[in-house]
Homo-oligomer: A and B are copies of this chain.
Amino acid sequence: MAPEPSVLVALASPRRREILRLVWREERTAGAIHRAMPDVTFGAVSLQLRTLEEAGLVESRGEKQFRFYRARREALGALGEMLERMWDDALWRLKLAAQLEETRRGPRPGPQRAQAQQKRPPRKK
């Protein structure tokens, strides 16, 4: 399966990836999705849902006055597995950070090797 460019565009936005993750394993209404993202308006969520649906990343069904959205995982193929790894990694990193925070009793400086800002020359040799 060759992805349409619109898929790549859709996945480039953190907001859209967040929405996609929310409907990855279970369908949710537009409202439930919005409630999970309190920092943005309902309208904005609706627009992003449209973008995701037009890219074929989610599909929806209407029931009563609700609209349920879910990810079209099967349409994503390997790209889907990649996203899952990405989300798992992020979780893992969060956990690790929490552990570090907890283990840190008293001010332990630790090795801080700051990456020096480099102004790269047109060539190295």
Residues of A within 8 A of B (CB): 1-3, 5, 8-9, 11-12, 14, 17, 61-67, 77-79, 81-82, 85-86, 88-89, 121-125
| Distance, CA A125 to CA B61, complexed state (A) | 8
Let me know if B67 and A2 touch, CB within 8 A. no
Let me know if A67 and B12 touch, CB within 8 A. no
Within 8 Å by CB of A65, from B3, B5, B14, B123, lies: B123
Q: Which residues of B contact A125 (CB under 8 A)?
A: 62-64
Let me know if B124 and A61 touch, CB within 8 A. yes
CB nearest to A14 among chain B residues: B5
CB nearest to A50 among chain B residues: B120
Closest chain B CB from A77 CB (angstroms): 8
